[in-house]
Amino acid sequence: AGFKQWVAFMDKYLPGADKSDGGYVAGASLAAMTAQVLTQCGDELTRENVMKQAANLHDVTVPMLLPGIKGNTTPNDFAPVKQVQMARFTGERWELFGPLITGAVT
């Protein structure tokens, strides 16, 4: 559903944009994470609370990430995505294979 929603958004607000440009996907993913941070802030929209919530994301799902990949941050680690999923092109489509791989971002 995430990809179809993104395509509909792009068609409506950025008709003619190059959908193969990864910057648009990155922007949509960042916007989803930012929305989660603001939701966690509730009515306390101070700089301190925004930073606190941004440093405390737990199992956040983002529509444009592959299934099972979730965003997590801590006060000592602001990189939210630490999982990857292997995929191969079959000549017609991308096929996921193997387990999610989790590791530190270096």
pLDDT given for residue 104 in this prediction = 66
pLDDT in tens, 76-90: 999 999 999 999 999
Q: What angle do helix axes 2-13 and 22-41 make, rounded to 10 degrees?
A: 110
Q: Report pLDDT for 17.
A: 97
Q: Residue ranges of the chain with pLDDT lower than 70?
A: 104-106
Give buried/exposed letters for 41-79 (b at 16+ CB in 10 A, else e).
Answer: eeeeeeeeebeebbeebeebebebbeeebbbebeeeeee
If DSSP codes are grouped into helix, strand and coil, which group holds residue 62? coil
